[in-house]
Every structure is written in structure tokens, then in C-alpha cells.
A and B are shown apart, each in its own frame.
Chain A
Amino acid sequence: MSNNFLRRVDLIFDKDCDFKQVLQSAYKRNNDEIINELLESGLKGRGGAGFPTALKWKFTSEQPDPEKYVVCNADEGEPGTFKDREILFQVPLKVFGGMAICAKVIGAKEGFIYLRGEYRFLLKELENQLEIFHAILDDLKIPFRIKIVMGSGAYICGEESALFESMEGDRGEPRNKPPYPTVSGFRKKPTVINNVETLVYAFMIFRYGARKFKELGTADSRGSKVFSISGDTPKPGIYELELGMTVDQFVQEFGDGDTKAVQVGGASGFCVPRKKFKDTIIGFEGVPTGGSMMLFNSSRSMYNVLHNYLEFFEEESCGQCTPCRVGCQQLKLGIEAVKRGEKHATYLEQLQKLAQTMKITAKCGLGQSVANSFFSIVENFKEEMIY
């Protein structure tokens, strides 16, 4: 890498890993040790919300129910992310390994991978790898099995409780929370649900130790992260980078010299305009991301970008709650009306207030996060919305 500030790391794609040995040594440790190691590492969920992984495992382990599950969320649907696909393609055993360690901690006999409908092409190879994995488990006398469940292409099914509904054969609609999955998840049983990447990192922490992971990144955002980089960039692709960089550093490395905005975290994430590149850290202290990084240069209309996101949300809302179902339609029609001059520019303020209501009243993360891109694009590119 040319840039001094950006550190490219290779924790998870490293093929030189003695999988069986890592699993075996993890299984020799007691549950408290495992949870403490994970807690020490500072690993937060890589799906975007950033909940401390160790706590999720701990809460589930404390549930008295004898029937528990570990679920790998491989419903990678956020626009602009494609890193879980690569992880599952390159290092599936490590994902399974993360699940197996989690299963030990919480006391689960069964695990599931909920695979995005569009990733069916991965299914056959994943099943081959599962056979290898199950043979290793048998060898180590570990009573744990993983099954793959296919999604059908709905974005909402990446939301954990909608994912459980879908796995149970029902319509993929988010549930009321509480109860949270750690108490009542798949089949209403205590469940750990982690993103693909989180599980790999958890596994690798038991290979390298918490310290190595913790040394990377910042106080709020420990370790490294896999980024899916797309848009106006000469080198789109998947990169594992240390957390804590600014958007400016990122753009220097991946921009095409004319970057006007970076959408961090996909359609549900934040748009960072050029003037804020230097002050914005990519991570939980700044703009969090599940890995999606989309670069836009000055040839792009930010109105079109926002319109595209709103169209996406309008279609991908499950439709059950009012703020999300109707709100998304209103935001889209609203910016269209302003653009066409049918509504006064001040209508944008009304729409921003609506977005604020969606953020605090929608039933799940989908409806709540529509406001992120809406605010950050409308506020920073108001002229493009009107003229």
C-alpha cells in the first residue's frame, strides 16, 4: 500500500491456519476463559450495529433453557457489501469454527447458516466444506452440527428476528423486541446470531489471542475489518484494513482523484461529503459500517443516489410498520415532487422531520436507518435535491 496511514492486514484470509488445532485448543478452555478472551479483544459485531460479541455469547450462555442455537447471518444484502460472499468462498471452515466455539460456550447442539438467496451458487461448495468440518468435529468428539438454510432474496431477512421468522417458515417480518435473540431467538429459544465476518474474527482471536487483535484499531473500534469497495474507484474489491482511518485517508487510497462523497455503510449508512472527509473516522466513533464503501465522483447526481436508495427501501421494507412502509414511499415521492418543482424546497424540511420520526418509531433497524442516508445526503447536497 502506498499510503502510510492505511494498514492492510491479513488476519482472516490467511490459509496457513491449522484449523483443527485452533478448535481443539479453544475447546480445552473453560467458557469463562473464552468469554473473557473475546471481551478482552474488544470484538464488536461486524454486521454494522456493533454489539460486543462477547456479551451476546455471555447473555445466551446464562439462559437456563437446554435448547439453544447459534446462527450465522449470511444474508448479506446491504447494497455495496460483498465481503461475506468472499469469506464464505475463501475460508468457510473458519466461519464454521467460530460457530463451533460459540456453540460450546452457550451449549448449542445445532447451528444454522442463513444464506442469502442470491448466493445459492455457494451452496454446493459450502456443503462439501461442511462435510469436512463435521468429520473434524467427529474426530474431536464435538457434538455439534451445522445446517444451511436458504433465504429467498428479501433484504429484511437480514434483520435478525425477521431471519428467524424466515427460518421457521413464516413471512420474514421483524418481531417486537424485547425479548432479544439471546433470550428468544430461533424457535423462540436463546440464540446467538452473528454475522459471517464476526464469527471468523472470533475464531481467529482464538488463534492469535486477543492482544494481537486489540493492538489494531482504536479504543472504540478494535481490530481490522473487511471492506467491500465499489463505485468510482480504480481498484474496487475486498480489502481487510485496520480500523480507525479517516475517510480522507481512505479516499486517498481508493479514490479516483475526483471523489465528492463516500457512502459508508451502504444504503442504510451515512454519506460523507468531501468537506468532512478529514474529520470523519470510519468506525464506531465516527461512521460505522458493515463494510460497504461506495465512492462517488463529481459526475454523479446525489439526487439519483438518494432516489435509488429510497426506491430500494420502499421495495425492501417488510411493510408491517407504518413509519417504514408509508414513510419510505413518502420520502421517495417527496424528493421527486421537490425536484419537479411541484413541492416547494421547504418540503425537504418536512421530509427530514418525517425521517426523524422514522428513526425513532420504526419497528426495526431497517426503517430506523433510512434516515441515515436521507439526512446525510439531503443536508450535504441540498442544491442537488432542488435544482
Chain B
Amino acid sequence: MAKQINLTIDGMPVTVDEGTTILQAAKKLNIHIPTLCYHDDLCVAGNCRVCVVEMKGSRTLPASCAMPVAEGMEIMTNTIKVRTARKHIIDLLLSEHNAKCTTCYKNGNCELQELAAEYKISEPMFIDLVPHKNYQMDAYSPSIIKDDSKCIRCQRCVRTCEELQHVSALGVAYKGDKMKISTFFENPMFEVVCTNCGQCVNRCPTGALVERNYVDEVWQAIFDPDKHVVVQTAPAVRVALGEALGMKPGEIVTGKMVTALKRLGFDSVLDTDFSADLTIMEEGFELLGRLKKALVDKDPSVKLPMATSCSPGWIKFIEHTYPEYLDNLSTCKSPQQMFGALAKTYYAQKRNIDPAKVVSVSIMPCTAKKFEADRPEMRSSGYKDVDFVLTTRELAIMIKQAGIEFNALPESHYDSIMGASTGAAVIFGATGGVMEAALRTAYEVVTGREVPFNGLNITPVRGMDGVREAAIKIEGTKPEWKFLEGAELKTVVAHGLTNAKKVMDAVRDGRASWHFIEIMACPGGCIGGGGQPIPTNEEIRKKRAEAIYREDAGMPIRKSHENPEVVAIYKEFLHEPNSHKSHELLHTHYKPRQRY
């Protein structure tokens, strides 16, 4: 047990572990100290100075986020000295911030705005610095817009990009009054190693980093009588959307969301779950095919371990960072893009609609999906497979704009075709979910029996540890899979690109014996995606993940290969996994990119 430290905060005694900060100790006493640069997910910076407190015997006011407790310490969090200092600091931040709140995308969801309100900042105390700078907005990326004029230099984004993602696309440039958050050679975000994961957007306390939003474009399409607008919703959206509409984290809002989408005017409300199940079929058979080539045909060109390809942030990361391992990626498109390709082919045919009139919209927990939809490879239907990608946050905006009282909505079901779901598809939203879904199907394909885990819950691949390994022994195979008899299928799951790097370094250095790797770019997987409601922290992500597994447990069908619409599409259209048609529509290739 750690050494116990006694101190008082605002006259109240508290005992905490050695190494605790004043901020954490104050939380224990339910004393709220305002913060800006501090974030639960990140290392302590101590640079905004909003959280300063008075400490008896100290000439200066220490930053409570960075100051460890000491025996006998006497802390005052609300004195005139503290209030004056905090007000000054907030005033200073406002003076360098382009405070055009009414026209700001983050209006109403801005930590600086909240602080200004809390401290009743009225007339600006200091000179507006914005006109003294030559700010230029970086609006070239299809995913993320960076507006330095709104940046308050808290460096949350820099720490996110470095610590959580090991990307470091964003860094600090220059010093003094010219200090800013910038990229390699100040190139636009579009041209650097940025993976578009949007984790910086999730943690930016102001409107300096936001997603490029396509709300107006989607409204245009909806109200265009010539267009047939289909919408797909990713698994992770249904367990997070509620947060952006006033609910607590962990609420499952699938049915309400479907109703809302119908009311918004989408012609067909469909589910990415359908194509997630399809991904399992394609990817599962691809893995089994690779194993067969390696074990039976002894083909040395087969690339193992095979890695998942659902996460576009991960894809761009590997293209930049480990381009020599692109052939290890599954050739499967992500569920979003499989859906897009089918929306303008299979769906259009079945519904007898001119594919040129189909507008395909996706609701994603993700900002990288916007970039993915724009990739030139993603046009195998002959059109842009996915026309517009909206984040969970953008959908919430549309629901509010339409005057819908979300809480009061009745529940409804997805339309058909391409609206059927399974538990296996839903868990795509949490880290480890693709692996679990794949194992549920692959094991059963090979042995004819269900995976030997209680209630199909493959718990070793669940959870929030950064890297999780699991092995499953294959016994009692069907005759055609006899070569796998007795084999142990070794898997690994990682989330957050810093953890992806650990896995890939192990592969590169020959320290790995895995067959199958699942990587999601974002912490917690898609439930912690860059397009999800703000704020985020591990507690919130855990609640979303719990909701995902609750949703899975409650589904009548929990295995991808049993999805009736998946069975149907193979019968009617694709014929079999990895068929010629599948390859044409559902598979892709990747391109090496430079590190700089």
C-alpha cells in the first residue's frame, strides 16, 4: 500500500496516497477545480494554469494538476487571490482566442466557453490578440479542420497524437508569442502523417480542431426529390449518440436512432451491422485461405499474421509507418465501404433504383471514415461508394436541427434489405469485437460446433488492456479443414495506435507467433472513436463498451454467418466468400505512404 499523506483542502482534512495530485485529492472531497489542459487520458502538462490554488507557505500559486500532495499541506481553492488569478488567466486565454462563439461549430460544447461563463467574464479585460496574428485555417483535409485562431495552446492534441497514437502529426512550433501547434514543415494536415483518427478533435477544449462537417450537404440530398438517400449506422453509434442528446453514457438508443433517421427523411435506414457480418465472412474465409496456403500448400508468399482492415485510422498509420507489412492486411474493405459498394449495386438492383440517384450516407463514430470514403479506390460501384460520412456528433446536430425530442421517440426497426444485424456485428464497435465475431464464425465453419466459450462470450479478447492475446485450440475439424486439426489459433488485439505500434514492432522483430491481429486506431475501439460525443475518458468508454456487450447478449442471432441477409446475398449475388464478385466490390488494396 502506498504511503498515506494527510493534508487539508479548504479546511477539510483528507488522506490520500503519496503521489496523488492536489487536483485528485480535491476531487475526493467533491471540490471542483477548473481545468483546461488537464485530461484524464493524458500526461500532466501543467501549462494552462487555470487550476492554480493557494498553498500555505508558498509565494506562488501551484497548478493543482501538477503538484503532488505533501504531509501537512494546507490548500485553499477559493480565495480572492486564486479567483483573481484564474480570472486573469481565463481573460488572457480569451484575448488570444478567436471568440466568435455564435458562429463556432463548437458553440455549446466548448470548455473555454463554459469557463468564461463560470467566471462571468463580461467585458474583455485585455487587448484582442487575434488581429495581430496572421492566422490561416487548415481546411484541406476531408476529415479534420484546424483553426489556429481558436487554439489556446493547451497541447492536449499534441499529447494525444504522441502518447495515445504515436503519430505526432501535431507538435509545437516556434516560441513565445509565435508559439503554435503545427505539423511537419507546417504542411496541411492532409499532407502529413495524420491518420485522421480525430482523437485530437475529441480532446480539443475549443473549436480549434473539429471534424469537417457535411450536415448541410446531407440535408440537400434529403430534400432533393430526385435522390434516394440511404443511410447506414455503425455499431458504436447506437451506444453513444444518447450522450450528445442529454443522456448518460452507456444508454443503448438503437430503436430511437432509427426512428429519428426516418423522421429526418432518409429514404432507407440501414445498418452497417449487415456489412460487418459480411466482413466477418470475407475476412474469416480470407484468414482460413491464408492458413491453408501456408500449412497445406506450403506457399512461402503467404503473409501471416493477417491483420484486420476495418479501421481507416489504422490503415493510414500502417501505410505511413509499416508500409512493408501492407500485404499482411486483410484485403477486405471496411464495413462502411462494403456497404457503400453494395448500396449502389446489389441494393439498387433489388430495389430497382437507378444507382446514379442513390446517395449513400453513413453515420460513423469516426473522422477517418470521411477520408476513407474519399479514397480513389472506394468507387467500385462505378460511383463514389459512400457519398457523405457524418460523425455521431453531426447526427446529433441534425436531430436537434429537425426539432426532434429524441428522448421521447418511439423505437423502430431498420429497413430491409441490408438492415439485418447480429450480436457479432454489434460488437465490432468495441476493441476485440472483430476478433470475437471472427472466432465465433471461423471456429464453427471449421469444426461445425460453436466456440467453446460460455454463452459465446470470448472474454479473453474483451476489456481495455492495450494489447490482449488469446489462443484457441482447434479440435474435431470437419474433413475439409483437417489440416487445422490440433492447431492453436493465436490472436492478438490492440487499440490505440501506440499499442498498434507495440504489436507491429513485435511482428517486425520476429517476436510474434500470432496468426490474426485485430487493430483499432482509437482507444477502446470505435466506441472511443474520433467522431463520438465529447467528452471522452476511460470511464465513459467502458460504459459504452458494456452497452455494446449488453446489446450483443440480447440479440436473437449472435453469429455473422447466421445473418439471414448475409446468407441471402451470398445466395443471390456474391455466390461465396472471396468470390470474383466479392473481390470486385468488397476488397481493396493499400498504398505505401512516406513518413514525412
Q: Which residues of A contact B (CB under 8 A)?
A: 154, 156, 171, 173, 176, 178, 313-323, 325-330, 333-334, 337, 350, 353-354, 357, 359-363, 368
Residues of B within 8 A of A327 (CB): 92
In the bound assembly, the distance between CA atoms of A313 and B93 in angstroms comes to 18
Known contacts A178-B68, A323-B92, A326-B92; A363 and B176 CB within 8 A of each other: no
Within 8 A of A (CB), among B7-49: 44-49
Contact A314–B93 (Cβ < 8 Å): no
Most buried by A among B52, B59, B92: B92
Residues of B within 8 A of A362 (CB): 49
Contact A315–B175 (Cβ < 8 Å): yes
Q: In the assembled complex, how far is the CB of residue A230 from the closest CB belonging to chain B, in whole angstroms?
A: 24
Q: In the assembled complex, how far is the CB of residue B84 from the closest CB belonging to chain A, in whole angstroms?
A: 7
Within 8 A of A (CB), among B246-285: none
Within 8 A of A (CB), among B39-85: 44-50, 52, 59-61, 63, 66-68, 81, 84-85
Q: Which residues of B contact A (CB under 8 A)?
A: 44-50, 52, 59-61, 63, 66-68, 81, 84-85, 88-89, 92-93, 95-96, 125-127, 129, 132, 152-153, 155, 172, 174-179
Contact A319–B93 (Cβ < 8 Å): no
Contact B177–A325 (Cβ < 8 Å): yes
Q: In the assembled complex, how far is the CB of residue B171 from the closest CB belonging to chain A, in whole angstroms?
A: 8
| Sample of 23 A–B contacts (CB below 8 Å) | A171-B172, A176-B44, A176-B66, A176-B67, A178-B68, A315-B175, A318-B176, A319-B174, A319-B176, A320-B47, A320-B155, A322-B48, A325-B96, A325-B153, A325-B176, A328-B176, A328-B177, A329-B132, A330-B127, A354-B92, A357-B84, A357-B89, A360-B60
Q: In the assembled complex, how far is the CB of residue B22 from the closest CB belonging to chain A, in whole angstroms?
A: 12
In the bound assembly, the distance between CA atoms of A375 and B59 in angstroms comes to 17
In the bound assembly, the distance between CA atoms of A314 and B52 in angstroms comes to 22
Contact B177–A319 (Cβ < 8 Å): yes
Known contacts A317-B175, A360-B59; A333 and B127 CB within 8 A of each other: yes
In the bound assembly, the distance between CA atoms of A359 and B88 in angstroms comes to 12
Contact B46–A357 (Cβ < 8 Å): no
Residues of A within 8 A of B59 (CB): 360
In the bound assembly, the distance between CA atoms of A354 and B46 in angstroms comes to 19
Among B45, B61, B153, B176, the residue within 8 A (CB) of A315 is: B176
Q: Supply 14 further A-B pairs (C-beta < 8 A) apart from A321-B48, A327-B92.
A: A176-B66, A178-B67, A315-B175, A317-B175, A319-B179, A322-B48, A323-B49, A325-B176, A333-B127, A333-B129, A334-B127, A357-B88, A360-B81, A368-B60
Among B89, B132, B152, B177, the residue within 8 A (CB) of A317 is: B177
Among B49, B127, B177, the residue within 8 A (CB) of A314 is: B177
Most buried by A among B60, B132, B155, B176: B176
In the bound assembly, the distance between CA atoms of A121 and B66 in angstroms comes to 40
Q: In the assembled complex, how far is the CB of residue A320 from the closest CB belonging to chain B, in whole angstroms?
A: 4
Q: In the assembled complex, how far is the CB of residue B76 from the closest CB belonging to chain A, in whole angstroms?
A: 13
Among A320, A326, A357, the residue within 8 A (CB) of B93 is: A326
Residues of A within 8 A of B68 (CB): 178
Q: In the assembled complex, how far is the CB of residue B97 from the closest CB belonging to chain A, in whole angstroms?
A: 10
Contact A329–B84 (Cβ < 8 Å): no
Contact B96–A321 (Cβ < 8 Å): no
Residues of A within 8 A of B61 (CB): 360-361
In the bound assembly, the distance between CA atoms of A368 and B177 in angstroms comes to 16
Among A171, A313, A337, A353, the residue within 8 A (CB) of B127 is: A337
In the bound assembly, the distance between CA atoms of A357 and B80 in angstroms comes to 12
Residues of B within 8 A of A334 (CB): 126-127
Known contacts A171-B172, A321-B48; A361 and B60 CB within 8 A of each other: yes
Q: In the assembled complex, how far is the CB of residue A227 from the closest CB belonging to chain B, in whole angstroms?
A: 27
Closest partner residue, chain A, to B36 (CB atom): A322
In the bound assembly, the distance between CA atoms of A87 and B47 in angstroms comes to 36
In the bound assembly, the distance between CA atoms of A56 and B49 in angstroms comes to 28
Residues of A within 8 A of B96 (CB): 325-326, 329
Contact B49–A363 (Cβ < 8 Å): yes
Contact B92–A330 (Cβ < 8 Å): yes
Chain A residues touching B, majority SS: helix
In the bound assembly, the distance between CA atoms of A321 and B65 in angstroms comes to 14
Closest partner residue, chain A, to B87 (CB atom): A357
Q: In the assembled complex, how far is the CB of residue A387 from the closest CB belonging to chain B, in whole angstroms?
A: 21
Contact A330–B126 (Cβ < 8 Å): yes
Residues of B within 8 A of A314 (CB): 176-177
Residues of A within 8 A of B92 (CB): 322-323, 326-327, 330, 354
The 8 closest A-B pairs by CB, nearest first: A319-B179, A326-B92, A176-B66, A357-B88, A320-B47, A176-B46, A317-B176, A315-B176
Contact B85–A322 (Cβ < 8 Å): no
Contact B60–A323 (Cβ < 8 Å): no
Q: In the assembled complex, how far is the CB of residue A20 from the closest CB belonging to chain B, in whole angstroms?
A: 43
Known contacts A320-B45, A320-B155; A176 and B63 CB within 8 A of each other: yes
In the bound assembly, the distance between CA atoms of A369 and B475 in angstroms comes to 73
Closest partner residue, chain B, to A331 (CB atom): B126
Known contacts A360-B61, A363-B47; A329 and B175 CB within 8 A of each other: no
In the bound assembly, the distance between CA atoms of A323 and B126 in angstroms comes to 13
In the bound assembly, the distance between CA atoms of A315 and B44 in angstroms comes to 25
Residues of B within 8 A of A320 (CB): 45, 47, 153, 155, 172, 179
Q: In the assembled complex, how far is the CB of residue A330 from the closest CB belonging to chain B, in whole angstroms?
A: 5
In the bound assembly, the distance between CA atoms of A361 and B68 in angstroms comes to 17
Known contacts A326-B93, A326-B96; A361 and B85 CB within 8 A of each other: yes
Residues of A within 8 A of B44 (CB): 176
Contact B88–A354 (Cβ < 8 Å): yes
Contact A154–B85 (Cβ < 8 Å): no
Contact A322–B49 (Cβ < 8 Å): yes
Among B125, B127, B179, the residue within 8 A (CB) of A325 is: B179
Contact A361–B49 (Cβ < 8 Å): yes
Contact B84–A353 (Cβ < 8 Å): yes
In the bound assembly, the distance between CA atoms of A328 and B179 in angstroms comes to 13
Among A176, A318, A326, A350, the residue within 8 A (CB) of B175 is: A318
Among B67, B88, B132, the residue within 8 A (CB) of A333 is: B132
Residues of A within 8 A of B67 (CB): 176, 178
Q: In the assembled complex, how far is the CB of residue A365 from the closest CB belonging to chain B, in whole angstroms?
A: 10
Residues of A within 8 A of B176 (CB): 313-319, 325, 328
Q: In the assembled complex, how far is the CB of residue A100 from the closest CB belonging to chain B, in whole angstroms?
A: 34
Closest partner residue, chain A, to B48 (CB atom): A322
In the bound assembly, the distance between CA atoms of A154 and B179 in angstroms comes to 13
Q: In the assembled complex, how far is the CB of residue B50 from the closest CB belonging to chain A, in whole angstroms?
A: 8
Contact A319–B49 (Cβ < 8 Å): no
Contact B172–A319 (Cβ < 8 Å): yes
Residues of A within 8 A of B172 (CB): 171, 173, 319-320
Residues of A within 8 A of B88 (CB): 323, 353-354, 357, 361
Contact B89–A322 (Cβ < 8 Å): yes
Residues of A within 8 A of B152 (CB): 322
Residues of B within 8 A of A173 (CB): 172
Contact A156–B175 (Cβ < 8 Å): yes
Residues of A within 8 A of B95 (CB): 326, 330
In the bound assembly, the distance between CA atoms of A60 and B532 in angstroms comes to 48
Q: In the assembled complex, how far is the CB of residue A316 from the closest CB belonging to chain B, in whole angstroms?
A: 6
Known contacts A315-B175, A319-B153, A321-B48; A326 and B129 CB within 8 A of each other: yes
Contact B52–A361 (Cβ < 8 Å): yes
Residues of B within 8 A of A321 (CB): 46-49
Closest partner residue, chain A, to B21 (CB atom): A176
Most buried by A among B50, B59, B61, B85: B85
In the bound assembly, the distance between CA atoms of A154 and B175 in angstroms comes to 9
In the bound assembly, the distance between CA atoms of A215 and B126 in angstroms comes to 51
Q: In the assembled complex, how far is the CB of residue B152 from the closest CB belonging to chain A, in whole angstroms?
A: 8
Q: In the assembled complex, how far is the CB of residue A259 from the closest CB belonging to chain B, in whole angstroms?
A: 31
In the bound assembly, the distance between CA atoms of A350 and B45 in angstroms comes to 28
Contact A323–B127 (Cβ < 8 Å): no
In the bound assembly, the distance between CA atoms of A299 and B48 in angstroms comes to 41
Residues of A within 8 A of B129 (CB): 326, 329-330, 333
In the bound assembly, the distance between CA atoms of A386 and B301 in angstroms comes to 80
In the bound assembly, the distance between CA atoms of A315 and B81 in angstroms comes to 28
Most buried by A among B61, B89, B152: B89
